Amino acid sequence: MKFFNTQNHKTVVNVSYTLSLALTLSFLSYPSYGQDGYVGLQYGIVTSEDANMGNGAFSAALNINESIALELQASTTMAEEDLGYNASLSSGTKGLYAAYKSSGRSYFKIKGGVAQIDYTVSAYDVDVSSDQRGFSFGLGAGLLLGQSGAIEVEYVQFPQLESFAGESISASGSYTSVGVVFNL
């Protein structure tokens, strides 16, 4: 069953705003260099089959050691996908991950854990929702900006949705984002 339509979003403008905010806030100084953990703000696109939704995300992590952290991440739709016929699609995600970051001014990040992705189709004041929980993983890269934080780009793959409103479907979801991370 195919019920998503492709809709072009103002992604470039939203990414530009996120990068501007990240650069501005990165010059604030913090007393430590991420010894305890980090928090982050991201903006990106949740993609599922033919649909693209602009989602904002928040992440928080507790460092276990210099390279490994326990990370929580949640996102919600900020730009719904217009499906036509007065219908729209939105999504939300939440996940718990073990994350590894390499050392250095520029670094890579890999994470794996459990996540849930929720899809909601809204039409004529009626919402139909479905969610899927399961294994999720992500890859990213970052650039440290002084001791206060970093700019990161990240790709996260979510569990595959197997049914929607009682219909058997196969829809995979992923989140590609850019954001800023602040060390605690």
**What are the pLDDT tens digits along the chain (184 aa)?**
344 433 434 444 444 455 555 444 444 433 333 578 999 999 999 888 768 899 999 999 999 998 999 999 999 999 888 888 888 888 999 999 999 999 999 999 999 999 998 988 899 888 988 888 999 999 999 999 988 899 999 999 998 887 777 777 767 789 999 999 999 8
Q: What is the pLDDT of residue 112?
A: 97
Residue 115 near residue 93, CB atoms below 8 Å: yes
Q: What is the pLDDT of residue 3?
A: 41
Q: What is the pLDDT of residue 34?
A: 57
Q: What is the pLDDT of residue 164?
A: 76
Residue 35 near residue 63, CB atoms below 8 Å: yes
Residue 182 near residue 59, CB atoms below 8 Å: no
**Cα dihedral sign for 76, 80, 83, 87?**
positive
- Kindly write down the DSSP assignment for every residue of 14-30, as one continuous string: HHHHHHHHHHHHTTS--
Q: What is the pLDDT of residue 55?
A: 93
Q: What is the pLDDT of residue 108?
A: 96
SS3 content of the chain, % helix, strand, coil (to 5): 10, 65, 25
**Cα dihedral sign for 91, 82, 127, 162?**
negative
Enumerate domains of the chain plus CATH numbers. 11-183 (2.40.160.20)
Dihedral pair phi/psi, residue 14, rounded to 5°: -65, -40
